[in-house]
Amino acid sequence: FFYFPETHGISFRIQITVKEVLDTDVLLKLFFHLPVNYPSTVPDISVTSDQLTRAQCVDVREKLLEEAKQHLSEPMVHDLILWVQQHLQDVIKQSATVCNEKTTLSKGTEDGIWMLLLHLDHMRAKAKYVKTVEKWASDLRLTGRLMFMGKIILILLQGDRNSIKEYLILQKTSKVDVNSSGKKCKEKMMRVLCETELQSQHKRFQMFEVKEYSALEELQKEFETAGLTTLFSEFVPPLLK
């Protein structure tokens, strides 16, 4: 649970597994922000899942918000979780139908350039780890930056969506670092801060580079130059706390 001061209400994350949707179990990550005047107003909700497309997550969120309006003035989070467990299958089916109708549109989205921002907690075998990341980026034709600033380690990648997904699998399943005993180990403390389609205001990185920044302002400038000011302000300052 993540609590914020009373003036902002309360925020928390809940993970639930919904059995056998799309012939597989779906792990849903729900983020709720309850405003101070909740339940007189609906909570803000975000939905993410590795098993669903971004469009499906958006559909689930919209349906949850519609459902929330039916429960105004009564505590509703528990009801919303039950609702999504019971109705996820229907929402996905509807979402799929809409996708089929807009095949040309959704195909365009899949083929677009995607962007991924990752946060790593540490690198013990730094030189080897950096080499591995550079090799993966090169093999998958991904451009971007591996960024070091103080204790903060960020990986920003741009490229074909399937390559981004492939990179994530490599990052999670390969022995990229060593543990405190010096044994090879997998990356267990990686967080995906953002995965999104590249928008027109974002600039493409031409290559993949490893860079060290001595101050936050330098790091901020890197993001600003790439048209990613919003991405920086949303995800990087919280890492300093």
Are 129 and 226 part of one and the same domain?
A: yes
In a shared domain, residues 212 and 155: yes
Among 169, 161, 168, residue whose Cα is nearest residue 196: 161
Q: Residue 51: which CATH number?
A: 3.10.110.10
The pLDDT of residue 133:
94
- Say yes or no: 72 and 153 in one domain: no
Question: Within a domain: residue 44?
Answer: yes
Q: Which amino acid is at 187?
A: E
- The DSSP output letter for 39 is T
Q: Do residues 83 and 172 both lie within one domain?
A: no
Question: Whole-model pTM?
Answer: 0.55
H-state helical runs in the chain: 54-70, 77-101, 103-111, 126-139, 161-173, 216-225, 229-235
Q: What is the CATH number of the domain that holds 224?
A: 3.30.70.100
pLDDT per 10-residue tile (average), the chain, 241 residues: 56 87 83 89 89 84 93 92 91 64 38 86 90 93 94 94 88 85 84 86 90 94 92 89 74
- Domain end position, chosen among 66, 95, 124: 95
Range(s) of the domain holding residue 155: 113-239
Q: Is residue 142 part of a domain?
A: yes
Q: How many folded domains does the chain comprise?
A: 2
Final residue belonging to a domain, choices 32, 61, 95:
95
Look at residue 181 in the predicted model and tell me its pLDDT.
83
Report the distance separating Cα 115 and Cα 67, nearest Å. Answer: 31
Residues 74 and 147 in one domain: no
